[in-house]
Amino acid sequence: MRKFAFLLIVAGLGIGAIWPWAQGNFLNDEIERVSMTGLRENGSVEAIVNLKTSDNPVRIRFLATFLPDGKLPPVRLPLTAKISDRQGTLLAGIVSFATDGLTTGPELPTQSGSQALNLTVVNDGPHALSLTFAENAGDGGISRPDIEKVSATFIRNARVIDDQYTLAGFIVAMLGFYLLVRSRRSGKKSGIVTFGRKGSDR
């Protein structure tokens, strides 16, 4: 019973967490990856990427690389991301890179990922991605963090993470947990009965 319960817990975690994570990070078709530098010096950066409506839906993943021994905000580093085509702005939002407890070493630069943005392309052609520093009340007095570059990866036909996977995985894992607890309780009860029988035999 316990082995079966453990298998259910592992299967639940796989269905609800590992599989959606794999879909969002590995099972993707990359269009282009751009590396934007000069954000600390200029306060804003821009990159041009050619996108098509056949790429929909498009997911953009961000990764920030900080300078060695750089100064960073104590909690997070928010950037305003704006994506526009020839007709104007398609999407604007905040991408936030966690810096809580993050220290930059003297040799290797430290990296931090952000949540992804999902985009629906309306017109084929060049699209501009611009990044600027967003207001950060908890910047700790560091208005221009030592950020070396931000990499943006554009994914075509991005798989939509279905919440049903998470729900199904949660149900399976909870069932396994219930069976595990029940097996332990039944084991304790059987142990008590066995001890009582031994005592009565004496």
**pLDDT: is 190 or 68 the higher one?**
68
* pLDDT category of residue 202 using cuts at 50, 70 and 90: very low
C-alpha R_g of the chain: 25
Domain boundaries along the sequence of the chain: 1-18+163-184, 29-156
CA dist., res. 196 & res. 202, Å (int): 10
**pLDDT: is 172 or 175 the higher one?**
175
Total length of the chain: 202
Q: What is the pLDDT of residue 101?
A: 81
Q: pTM here?
A: 0.68
**How does pLDDT run across 85-101, given as a tens digit for each residue?**
999 999 999 999 999 88
My answer on whether omega of the bond before 57 falls inside 30° of 0, hence cis, is yes
Percent of the chain with pLDDT strictly greater than 70: 62
**How does pLDDT run across 43-59, given as a tens digit for each residue?**
999 999 999 999 999 99
Q: Does domain 29-156 have CATH number 3.40.50.12780?
A: no
- Answer whether 118's CB lies under 8 Å from 57's CB: yes
Beta-carbon count within 10 A of 46 CB: 15
**How does pLDDT run across 91-146, given as a tens digit for each residue?**
999 999 999 887 766 666 689 999 999 999 999 999 999 999 999 999 999 989 99
